[in-house]
């Protein structure tokens, strides 16, 4: 299979290195010309994946048309807030004929677009002429790049309304250490992948405040409830949130040393401003902008998401963390399920 990868950050590289072991032909696009030259020359990204070598067989380019024109399948791994600009660039530089020959678009980015509140599948459908849901797969689950790139056993889900395409991605992308299940609930998988980053910010704040296991267990459990509420309202399946893309990815993102969203939350709890915390991070914490989007979605759809609401107020309204914790704990008493 010829695979074009849009995005040469840690996740893009991890997937490229993994897929190359299946003898796929891979071309990976890096937006920044200087960064592309660095990767071409050094075959490594030491700031994010130290010690992980990019095989010479993987082509690294700064020209998006080169990546797409060679591909049977395009893997989208750019940050969610740059997805639309990336796809617009692709459409402006690639012929309609070349775009039509793409058999599948695989979304591995996690997030909800600010302002439009669009999922990444929606962005793809809006920007690529002629693409339908039949050509889209969402790849998600507990899968830190730091571990996938080092062959640590990992399990994810490939979701599509076109199950034969999901099964093809399952077969072609699976390795001895990367196991894929299929799922038909694309919307649920995307929502779970996005909202879990918001809850991970809360888990990081808990760590930064010096709270314990009780607190984090409560955050994760009630976080799943918020994910399910939003999912139900938007037509997703409850079972998705109990699976790999939901509770599996949530647990991993809330507890892992690799989790950039958990790290961001910890910095906020320690007194960093949002801008200071961003400067301190070496990678983008997608949960920050996703918090804004999820809060707006919850308001629009009239869904109560108390953890999300308090994280939004801490990040964007300068609410003190201690006050946010107090307000969560002093909410009206209720049954667990309501």
Active site residues: 196
Contact 97, 133 (CB under 8 A): no
Q: Is 75 helix (H, G, I), strand (E, B) or coil?
A: strand
Contact between 264 and 281 under an 8 Å Cβ cutoff? The reply is yes
**Strands 154-159 and 178-183, sheet pairing:** parallel
Q: Which long-range contacts (CB under 8 A, 24 or more apart) does 17-23 make?
A: 17/52, 17/53, 17/54, 17/55, 17/58, 17/149, 18/148, 18/149, 18/173, 18/175, 18/178, 19/173, 20/55, 20/57, 20/58, 21/175, 22/172, 22/173, 22/175
CA neighbor of 170 nearest in space, from 200, 141, 149, 202? 141
Q: Answer whether 84's CB lies under 8 Å from 127's CB.
A: yes
Residue 255 DSSP one-character state: H
**Best CA proximity match to 27, nearest among 36, 16, 38:** 16
Say whether 33 sits in a helix, a strand or coil.
helix
User: Among the residues of 209-305, which ranges form H helices?
Assistant: 213-233, 238-241, 249-255, 260-269, 274-280, 287-301
């Amino acid at each position: 299979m010829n695979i074009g990868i849009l995005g040469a950050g840690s996740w893009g590289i991890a997937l490229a290195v993994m897929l190359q072991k299946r003898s796929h032909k891979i071309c990976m696009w890096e937006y920044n010309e200087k960064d592309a030259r660095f990767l071409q020359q050094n075959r490594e990204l030491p700031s994010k994946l130290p010690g992980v070598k990019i095989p010479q067989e993987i082509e690294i380019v700064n020209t998006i048309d080169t990546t797409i024109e060679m591909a049977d399948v395009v893997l989208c791994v750019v940050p969610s807030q740059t997805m639309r600009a990336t796809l617009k660039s692709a459409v402006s530089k690639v012929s309609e004929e070349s775009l039509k020959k793409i058999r599948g678009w695989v979304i591995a980015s996690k997030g909800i677009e600010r302002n439009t509140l669009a999922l990444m599948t929606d962005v793809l459908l809006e920007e690529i002429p002629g693409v339908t849901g039949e050509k889209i797969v969402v790849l998600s689950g507990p899968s830190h790049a730091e571990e996938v790139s080092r062959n640590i056993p990992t399990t994810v889900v490939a979701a599509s309304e076109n199950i034969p395409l999901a099964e093809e991605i399952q077969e072609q992308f699976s390795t001895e250490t990367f196991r894929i299940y299929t799922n038909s609930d694309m919307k649920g998988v995307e929502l779970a992948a996005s909202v879990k980053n918001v809850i991970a910010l809360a888990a990081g704040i808990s760590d930064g405040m010096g709270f314990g296991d009780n607190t984090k267990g409560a955050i994760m459990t009630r976080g799943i409830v918020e994910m399910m509420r939003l999912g139900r309202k938007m037509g997703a399946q409850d079972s998705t949130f109990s699976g790999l893309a939901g509770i599996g990815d949530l647990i991993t993102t809330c507890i892992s040393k690799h989790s950039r969203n958990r790290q961001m939350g910890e910095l906020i709890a320690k007194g960093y401003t949002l801008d200071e915390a961003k400067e301190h991070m070496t990678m983008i914490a997608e949960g920050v902008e996703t918090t804004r989007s999820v809060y707006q979605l919850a308001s629009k759809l009239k869904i109560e998401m108390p953890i999300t609401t308090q994280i939004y107020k801490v990040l964007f309204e300068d609410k003190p963390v201690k006050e946010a914790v107090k307000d969560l704990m002093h909410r009206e008493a209720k049954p667990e399920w309501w």
